[in-house]
Chain A
Amino acid sequence: MTPADWTAVRLTAQLAAWTTLLLLLVGTPVGWWLARTRSRLKPLWSAVVAMPIVLPPTVIGFYLLLLMGPQGPVGQLTQSLGLGRLPFTFAGLVVASVLYSMPFVVQPLQQAFEAIPARTLEAAATLRAGPFDRFFSVALPLARPGLLTAAVLGFAHTVGEFGVVLMIGGNIPGATRVLSVAIYDHVESTEFADAHRLAAAMVVFAMVVLVALYVVNRPARTDRSTAP
């Protein structure tokens, strides 16, 4: 593995980690709201969240390129805040990955929250727990399997992300040249040995992280005997 290869691995790891973290932070309240709201706009918002599944990644990437560009609303915002522009930067990749992987994190969270019976949360209210208290002391612990699924899916989806990165990354070594793009380059230039090596690195890396996630989150050992 060349230093360039290790850089690609490191970038991929950082991208996946940041994206998963941000998505868990943002996606948890979104998933909670979607699970519990009775607003008539719920189908609309659910569809919005699910859009990235429907759109091809290159389409998402292309429109992000426009939005984040100098004439786009996001680009103008970032420029007016003195942050420059997002395309061709790692930060831009993180933003794009967050949007692209959003449904894969929000939907498992939403389903986990939906599975909590209303009466359990009402019981918590009758036991003096306010809304935030109920969320942290009852809803989150009961949604833990969903949190794990969301983290795994978000992480895996970002590691495998290609089209979006391709469109707005600019393939800059050390900044946006992640594993998926590096492998693609090698294949396109018929550097198959390099491609094989990097692909193996990607698989190993992903396996290590996923196994670790599953080990850490084994269900607690309880006496599962069912009494009458």
Chain B
Amino acid sequence: MIEARLHLPRDGFTLDVALSLPERGVSALFGPSGCGKTTVLRALAGLERAAGRVALGSEVWQDDAAGAFVPTHRRALGYVIQDAALFPHLDVQRNLDYGRRRIPPALRRIEPEQIVDLLGIAHLMRRRPDTLSGGERQRVAIARALATSPRLLLMDEPLAALDAQRKAEVLPYLDRLHAELAIPVVYVSHAVDEVARLAHHLVLLDRGRVVAAGPLADMMARLDLPTARGEGAGVVLDAVVAERDAPWQLARLQVGDGDFVLWARDHGLPVGSAVRVRVLARDVSLTRAPQTGTSIGNQLAGTVEAIADDEHAALALVRVRVGVVPVVARLTRRSAFALQLAPGQPVWAHVKTVALME
């Protein structure tokens, strides 16, 4: 467990959090600008001095009760920020070597070639940071942080300064990062899309307090959280590629152990691959009875579990249980009323194949 109890007065609010994050996977700290998520990250790193306790498993980095505080440079962590902060007077190779040289050989678990491959920066080694694009800089920054074989990787909105194209360029590397190295990541972001794509554990912050925390799937299925508002609302599902339909270039994804099956575009992943699927609430429509003659490729039988008001007065959110897996739909309140939707009621959820994102 990554444990942190932090208390720090700030302008406008007081940061007061207690976190228990899993030591595997990506934990996202999510919230609006100014909610304190960067401060939490900096306190975990020791760059800010909050009152409290920080421990990574059995390694205690801060314990005010015991008078202990490990300075940043003695914490086995990696830190990546929005604008890379590469050393301008060193080329990429030397930037990468900087941290690696400072850890004893015995602790060098990650090989440099592995990181360079992972982030695709082999061709940039002799370049100077000011000649790199934003996306390249971020990849180098991530590689540099990994080069110290950290036990924890902290990332503060690493994609925030990139345009959509560069973001799309870097995101796959972040995916692979988690897949290939067993290093836990704490990832700060205010972008739901990034969180939905990368996180396994989600902590919602607002004005210095933890509003909610838990596994990503559970959190995204809740109707009462800020994650259920806006265009990014929708569940995140873990699925396995069960079948590939070659003539139609579609893939059948098995969600969970039951009958929950989704047809999506075939992205070339072999059968048996684990994938993450996002089903946006706005792409889910509901009917009282199954439909025929519809172009919508996925029909799921489920039960209404909860209904809640959405941000806009005209809209409502409905959570439907398909087997044991939740799906969230966004409807007009008029439609919900017309369908006489109520918890416990059987419904059919429709999801367009085109709408599924992986």
Contacts and interface: CB of A to CB of B under 8 A. Distances in A.
Direct A–B contact present (CB less than 8 angstroms) = yes
Interface of A: 117, 119-120, 122-131, 133-134, 137-138, 141-142, 222-228
Contacts of A130: 71, 73-74
Nearest to A138: B87
A136 B47 CA distance: 20
Interface of B: 45, 47, 71-74, 77-79, 81, 83, 85-89, 98-99, 102-103, 127-128, 130-134, 136, 144-145, 148
Contact of B83 (A119, A137, A226, A228): A119
23 contacts: A119-B83, A120-B87, A123-B79, A123-B86, A124-B87, A126-B45, A126-B72, A126-B73, A127-B98, A127-B102, A128-B99, A128-B102, A129-B73, A130-B71, A130-B74, A131-B73, A133-B73, A133-B102, A222-B130, A223-B131, A227-B132, A227-B136, A228-B134
A87 B103 CA distance: 52
Contacts of A133: 73, 102
B254 to A, nearest CB: 41
A126 B78 contact: yes
Nearest to A116: B88
Contacts of B83: 119
Contacts of A224: 130-131
Contact of A142 (B88, B103, B136): B88
Contact of A126 (B77, B86, B103, B130): B77
Given A223-B128, A226-B130, A129 B102 contact: yes
Contacts of A223: 127-128, 131
Nearest to A120: B85
A226 B131 CA distance: 5
A17 to B, nearest CB: 27
B131 to A, nearest CB: 6
Give the interface centre of B83, B102, B145 by most chain A CB atoms within 10 Å: B102
A124 B98 contact: yes
Give the interface centre of B85, B86, B132, B133 by most chain A CB atoms within 10 Å: B85
Give the interface centre of B72, B77, B81 by most chain A CB atoms within 10 Å: B72
A127 B81 CA distance: 13
Nearest to B96: A127
Contact of B131 (A117, A126, A227): A227
A120 B141 CA distance: 12
A131 B79 CA distance: 17
Given A120-B85, A122-B85, A125-B47, A228 B133 contact: yes
B96 to A, nearest CB: 10
A26 B138 CA distance: 38
Nearest to B97: A127
B148 A128 contact: yes
Given A138-B87, A142-B89, A227-B133, A128 B128 contact: no
A142 B73 CA distance: 20
A222 B128 contact: yes
A119 B145 CA distance: 14
A127 B131 contact: no
Nearest to B102: A128
A117 B83 CA distance: 12
Nearest to A127: B99
- The 9 A-B residue pairs with the shortest CB-CB distance, nearest first, are A127-B99, A128-B102, A126-B79, A123-B85, A125-B72, A141-B89, A119-B85, A125-B73, A130-B73
Contacts of A122: 47, 72, 79, 85
A119 B73 CA distance: 14
Contacts of A225: 131
Give the interface centre of A125, A224, A225 by most chain B CB atoms within 10 Å: A125
Nearest to B101: A128
A228 B128 CA distance: 14
A222 B103 CA distance: 30
A128 B132 contact: no
